[in-house]
Amino acid sequence: MSAMSDLSDNLSFISPPIALEDIPQPRCLSLGVMASGSGSNFAAIARAIKEGNLNGEVKLVIYNNPDAGVKQRAMDHGVPHRLLNHRDYASREALDQDIVEHFRQAGVEWVIMAGWMRIVTPVLLDAFSRRVLNIHPSLLPSFRGVRAVEQALAAGVKVSGCTVHYAEATVDSGPIVAQAVVPILPHDTGETLHQRIQVQEHRLFPLAIALAAQPSP
């Protein structure tokens, strides 16, 4: 890793500025994870649980691509997993209804969209009202939608990052739970910036889950 990358890591920060171990977590959270790709955010959540930093249990991982790496990660962590290939469904609503049924059967309380590359519908959002969290690789509300990292580079902004928010029907909207800021370096590419954002995603997501599960004042 270069000295410039080290500097970037030192300048990255999470807001709100609170450590995961300082958040009260009196009850175990029953989590259902949705992922389409490698599953690195799922793995970060699973590690936080295993290390005792997040009081939760992943009841089920649902993935929509047969070759998604998250399947192997779920197997490595001993977590039940299920392929629901979106290509087998006539509509987004039909897929979401099947997801809801599988999560309910597994006893899931919170739905964690950890790199789920499909637009969700009110079928899922209403079934788990205010209990669906999504992560996005930008500082929302900036750079919504696909290729958010490339959007940030094209805009010439000096910082980017990632956001965990409550999912709503409008893509990449919903109240923000927590964000991590990542400086953009002069020679960043989409790949290098995305790699550094992912480092912060893995720190941010377990923290945001614990924050979201706090009882309302």
Residue 73 host element (H or E): helix 70-76
CB atoms within 10 A of CB 46: 25
Given a contact cutoff of 8 angstroms between Cβ atoms, the answer to whether 208 and 112 are in contact is: no
184-188, Cβ contacts within 8 angstroms, sequence gap of 24 or more: 184/152, 184/153, 184/157, 184/158, 184/159, 184/160, 185/4, 185/5, 185/8, 188/153
- Whether 136 sits among the annotated catalytic residues: the reply is yes
Contacts of 157 (CB under 8 A, 6+ apart): 142, 184
Among candidate residues 77, 81, 136, 202, the one labeled active-site is 136
Residue labelled with tokens 């599960």: 213
Catalytically annotated residues: 136
